Amino acid sequence: MLRQRGEKQADGKWFLPPAERNKGPILDVLSRVLPTRGVVLEIASGTGQHVVHFAKALPGLTWQPSDPDPELRESIALRVREEQLANVNPPIELDVTGFPWPLQTTDAVVCINLIHVAPWSATLALFKGTRALLPTEHVLFLYGPYRRFGGHTSKSNEQFDSDLSAHDPEWGLRDLEAVSEAAASSGFLLAEIVEMPANNFSLIFKRT
């Protein structure tokens, strides 16, 4: 699986080096745009590095990690147990394309580095599923690399895009404008674009 899980450590946890590098900059944005209380659903939680970091820094929120991959859910559970975090629920199995999603409501949705490692149908499903959960004005946060105005924002993203489509022709960097249009059709307004390190972007959508 290309860059999906990273390395498995001897203790059973999975580790992705980019998650270690980007968790700080992402937290800076989340601290500003998330509510101070309530439940945050994280989609495609992966190794659990992010949710543990965010839950420690934002203790007023209850975090709900999820991933379709059972090995990654185990990794998340191990990290949460190790850190003894009371504000993280056990990880749930959630594939964005499988409806109905296994929860009824949430106060915010965070999804990091999913939509380029899944078919476009997953992006559409992400908006459809989130729309069913999220109250008006609440935040859907997406993070990842995107193409902008029909082109790549860096040589390294262009290379990454070719690697992704060589691995699976349905994977690849999405056009930020196409994502925004799909979001608008599903009832989300792109409220803010934040340029992030390493040619990534944070996209803050609000449910209209």
Give the residue with the Cβ less far from ligand SAM, 22 or 180: 22
Cα-Cα-Cα-Cα dihedral sign, residues 104, 107, 110, 116: positive
Evaluate whether 152 touches 173 at the Cβ level (below 8 Å).
yes
- Whole-angstrom distance between the N-terminal and C-terminal Cα of the chain? 36
Give the residue with the Cβ less far from ligand SAM, 37 or 126: 126
Q: Please report how close the Cβ of residue 205 comes to ligand SAM at its closest, in angstroms.
A: 17
Residue 62 CA: distances (Å) to CA of 9, 78, 106, 179: 27, 18, 10, 28
User: Which position's Cβ is nearest ligand SAM?
Assistant: 46
> Measuring CA to CA, which residue among 152, 153, 130 is closest to residue 142?
130
Give the residue with the Cβ less far from ligand SAM, 45 or 150: 45
Binding positions for ligand SAM, rule: CB under 6 A: 3-4, 16, 19, 43-47, 50, 67-69, 72, 95-97, 112-114, 117-118, 122
Element (H, E) at 205: strand 200-207
Q: Please report how close the Cβ of residue 118 comes to ligand SAM at its closest, in angstroms.
A: 4
Residue 119 CA: distances (Å) to CA of 27, 115, 158, 179: 27, 7, 18, 13
Give the residue with the Cβ less far from ligand SAM, 1 or 150: 1
Q: Please report how close the Cβ of residue 42 comes to ligand SAM at its closest, in angstroms.
A: 8
Give the residue with the Cβ less far from ligand SAM, 12 or 37: 12
In 3-state terms, what secondary structure has residue 116? helix
Q: Please report how close the Cβ of residue 138 comes to ligand SAM at its closest, in angstroms.
A: 20
> Measuring CA to CA, which residue among 93, 91, 92, 23 is closest to residue 58?
23
Q: Please report how close the Cβ of residue 151 comes to ligand SAM at its closest, in angstroms.
A: 23
